[in-house]
Amino acid sequence: MNKFIICGQPRAGKTTVLNAIRDSGINACPFEPFWIESRTKTNVICSYYDHVAFSSSVLNQFDGFEIVLGHTQQLQEICNANNAGLIAVRRRDLYVHIASYIMLLVGWAGGRNRNLCWNEDLIKKIPFFNHHIDKIIYNNWLIDNVIPTYKTYVLTIEYENMSDSSDLLSTYLGKRIELVNHPPVDLSHYFTNPDNFIFDIDQRLEQLHGQ
């Protein structure tokens, strides 16, 4: 069995891919070992802060695991040390991805996470939201431009078109993995004024590209 690591961002579909792999009978780690709440679930004796050794200990127990991009700065070293194929997962629709993640954050904060009015002037004054929006944009850039250059990179799976990746993923893992497509939800599901939200994100993208 080839070892694997699934990387991606929250609300991008990496857990969906992991569950499909587990459903095939592959011994994938059922939790994210790099989440602080999960560290006590791993039977390791090395320091968590030695990310390469920690990952090796996890992969001695499981065939693979998922990790949030940014939870380690040693992802390439981890994959190389364990000869673990790197599987990236992302959403094609950046707007819906950010909207879905914002709703997750609002829900964590105890707020109403549907049909919100997007106020870009207010959001830009809240560092917490700005940090997470910019992080999604940056990590998508990493997935598109940096992750594919890693020696053990296998493929990138798009949440909306997961079934297109079933054959390649199955070939790498040596078992049939059935992936199901997930059409994006309309932005009006999240915001009462989706055009304002799109305008705000477009401004950020223009700044990123120096326009």
pLDDT tens for the chain, 211 residues long, are: 799 999 999 999 999 999 999 999 999 999 898 886 555 666 666 666 789 999 999 999 999 999 999 999 999 999 999 999 999 999 999 999 999 998 888 775 555 556 778 887 667 667 778 888 999 999 999 999 999 999 999 999 999 999 999 999 999 999 999 999 998 789 998 888 999 999 999 988 888 776 5
Tokens of 173: 């893992």
pLDDT value for 103 = 85
pLDDT value for 121 = 66
pLDDT value for 202 = 93
Do 159 and 6 touch, CB atoms closer than 8 A? no
Q: Residue 26: phi, psi to the nearest 5?
A: -75, 140
pLDDT value for 167 = 97
Which residues share a beta bridge with 89?
Answer: 8, 157
pLDDT value for 189 = 87
pLDDT value for 45 = 60
The C-alpha atoms of residue 56 and residue 60 are separated, in whole angstroms, by 6
pLDDT value for 73 = 92
pLDDT value for 165 = 97
pLDDT value for 112 = 55
Do 111 and 103 touch, CB atoms closer than 8 A? no
Distance of CA 4 to the CA centre of its chain: 15
Residue 21: how many CB atoms within 10 A of its CB?
24
Distance of CA 179 to the CA centre of its chain: 16
pLDDT value for 207 = 83
Do 89 and 8 touch, CB atoms closer than 8 A? yes
The C-alpha atoms of residue 150 and residue 132 are separated, in whole angstroms, by 25
Tell me the domains of the chain and their CATH numbers. Answer: 4-208 (3.40.50)
Do 3 and 82 touch, CB atoms closer than 8 A? yes
Distance of CA 68 to the CA centre of its chain: 5
